[in-house]
Amino acid sequence: MSLLFSADSCAPAAFRRVLAVSLAVMLAATSHAQQSVKRVIDEQGTFDTGSQASQKRVTRYAQQTSELLGEYRITLQQLDRVRVYNANLAAIVSDQQQEIDNINQQLLDFESTEQGIVPLMLDMITDLRAFIEADMPFNREERIDRVERLEANMTNSDITVSERYRQIMDAYKKEAAFGRNIEAYEGTLPVEGVDTQVNILRVGRIVLAFQTKDEATTGIYNKSSGQWETVGSEYRRAVSDGIAQARKEAPPNLMVLPVPTAEAAR
């Protein structure tokens, strides 16, 4: 059996008041529960938002840490390269210092050598001039000019000692070559007391002959007497052929030339 109550029932007034109070309490409890649930939901949302922010910070810190770790590794690699480079550079500097020391020692040795070689070069130039002046008078002006240039070089600070020595040796080589070749050139000689244009033939340092342009007069240089002397007409053709061969106007051939003998010199 059940009992139903309504507002218009005849239930006692006290019961209605109890019922009203119970309903009010139930409504208050429901409202409080709803507020609690809402507060929990809000707190959960706040917590979730904070968790997301924390997760983002953790992710960012992790990325930064990874980047820093990569940079650290690169820095270590660069440091290793720098160490290798510095070691190689130190070896190069050491080698260069040894080279500098060697050069300084060579300079000291060169200074000592220069003190001995300069007087030698001066003597060589003096001897060369004396040799040319005592030699047959061929290309005399050219050869003396060469000696004078060598003498001037010895007081020219712009020319190194090695270059002075090279030029001296070059002059000696040219003088030595005169004894192994032949040449013909034009010159002026006194013929019968008159300066005359002549062709001059040099055969090594054995024969120095001349012939006038018209081939009428032929002569030789007598080294013993230091004079030019005329010779017989029998040598005219030989000297003429020798001049042609020296100028490469005729093929090489045997030449019969007058050579002053020791008896003639006496």
pTM: 0.56
Alpha-helical segments (H) within the chain: 13-134, 140-153, 161-178, 236-246, 262-265
Interatomic CA distance for residues 174 and 167, integer angstroms = 11
Question: Is pLDDT of 1 > 90?
Answer: no
Neighbours of 162 (CB within 10 A): 11
Tokens describing residue 79: 């440091």
Give the pLDDT score at 112. 67
Interatomic CA distance for residues 181 and 246, integer angstroms = 9
Q: What is the pLDDT of residues 130-180, one digit of tens each?
A: 999 999 999 999 999 999 999 999 999 899 888 999 999 999 999 999 999
Q: What is the pLDDT of residues 44-92, one digit of tens each?
A: 666 667 677 777 888 888 888 888 888 888 888 888 888 888 888 889 9
Q: For the sheet containing 207-212, what is the strand order?
A: 182-191, 194-203, 207-212, 218-222, 227-230
182: Cβ contacts below 8 Å, ≥ 6 apart = 201, 202, 203, 204, 242, 245, 246
Indicate the burial class of 58 (C-beta count within 10 angstroms; 0-12, 13-18, 19 or more). exposed
pLDDT-based confidence at residue 7 (cuts at 50, 70, 90): very low
117: Cβ contacts below 8 Å, ≥ 6 apart = 161, 165
Interatomic CA distance for residues 252 and 57, integer angstroms = 106
Interatomic CA distance for residues 150 and 29, integer angstroms = 130
